[in-house]
Amino acid sequence: MKKKEDILKNGPIPAHVGIIMDGNGRWAEKKGLPRKEGHQAGAEVIEPLLDSAMKIGVKAVSLYAFSVENWSRPVSEIRGLWSLLEYFFSEKLELIKSKKIRIIHSGSLSKLPPKTKNVILKSIEETKNNKGIILNFCINYGGRQEIVRSVNEWIKVRKPNEMITEKKIGQYLYTRGLPELDLMIRTSGECRISNFLLWQCAYAEFVFTDTLWPDFDEDSFYKAIGEFQKRERRFGGI
Ligand code: IPE
Ligand code: IPE
Ligand code: MG
């Protein structure tokens, strides 16, 4: 069992952690439950995870909740996910506010049901001045789409003959202003990026765990942080 104190003295703390919250469906199937219950159990893990991250001084957490590819799932499952997000953003908002968490969103809200879109916008608005940890909810998000969007946003203000640069792309990403992504965690044993934070993960450390998302507790999180602390980050140097 890793404790907060051990983590803090062991090494650097990642400023920005990305999490691909995968394995809700399999968690439910293993228990003979409908997939929906896996998503529900998965949503309950978010708040304790944020507590664990706050305790050790993580500045920002990006959570992958719905990818642009997830539209290929059955409509009934997608509807269930919107209801769950509505529940999360309305029922947990007061608690989130009391913990000074600031919510931001990455992705396109335009195709979401109005009710879902509104609870997300309300949470962003009501937490915009909070100075605690940043919770970047990635909903209807795709890394490639984010890069294309960023370039298109820049084109709107482009001066004649001006060229695109890394800095300009960064300025129009959803994650502008957030610290560099230091650590990317994916649960459920899959070892792929699934179109998540493609630009941002250039020098992130990757930790893959077999734990299914609904079982991902403080101990699992601190284990991933411990793994991160063992890595030698060279950034191209020697
Ligand atoms: C991740 O869990 C949550 C979402 C993609 C919304 P999955 O639903 O992908 O769970 P598995 O991979 O089928 O177990
Ligand atoms: C990635 O998980 C998306 C989210 C966790 C929201 P998926 O379960 O959709 O990814 P694939 O299909 O296995 O790559
Ligand atoms: Mg999955």
Q: What is the pLDDT of residues 174-200, one digit of tens each?
A: 999 999 999 999 999 999 999 999 999
237 located within any domain? no
151 located within any domain? yes
Question: Which run of H or E residues covers position 206?
Answer: strand 205-208
Domain that holds residue 216: 4-230
118 located within any domain? yes
59 located within any domain? yes
Kindly list the distances between the CA atom of residue 72 and the CA atoms of 68, 111, 140, 192, in Å, as whole numbers in the listed order. 9, 14, 12, 18
Whether residue 2 is predicted with pLDDT greater than 90 in this model: the reply is: no
Any atom of ligand 1 within 6 Å of the Cβ of 73: no
Q: What local confidence, expressed as pLDDT, does residue 48 receive?
A: 97
* Residue to mutate, 19, 20, 22, ligand 1, most ligand atoms under 8 Å from C-beta: 22
> How many structural domains does the chain have?
1
Q: What local confidence, expressed as pLDDT, does residue 204 receive?
A: 98
What is the position in ligand 2's atom list of the atom closest to the CA of 138?
6
pLDDT above 70 covers a percentage of the chain that reads: 99
For residue 3, the CA-to-ligand 1 centroid distance in Å is 29
pLDDT in tens, 66-125: 999 999 999 999 999 999 999 999 999 999 999 999 999 999 999 999 999 999 999 999
The reply to whether 152 belongs to the active site is: no
d(CA 204, CA 181) in angstroms, rounded, equals 6
CATH number of the domain within which 33 lies: 3.40.1180.10
236 located within any domain? no
What one-letter code names the amino acid at 27? Answer: W
What is the position in ligand 1's atom list of the atom closest to the CA of 67?
5
Q: Could you say which of 70, 118, 130, 195 is catalytic?
A: 70
42 located within any domain? yes
Q: What local confidence, expressed as pLDDT, does residue 1 receive?
A: 61
Q: Which residues sit opposite 205 in a β-bridge?
A: 183
The reply to whether 22 belongs to the active site is: yes
Q: What local confidence, expressed as pLDDT, does residue 94 receive?
A: 97
203 located within any domain? yes
238 located within any domain? no
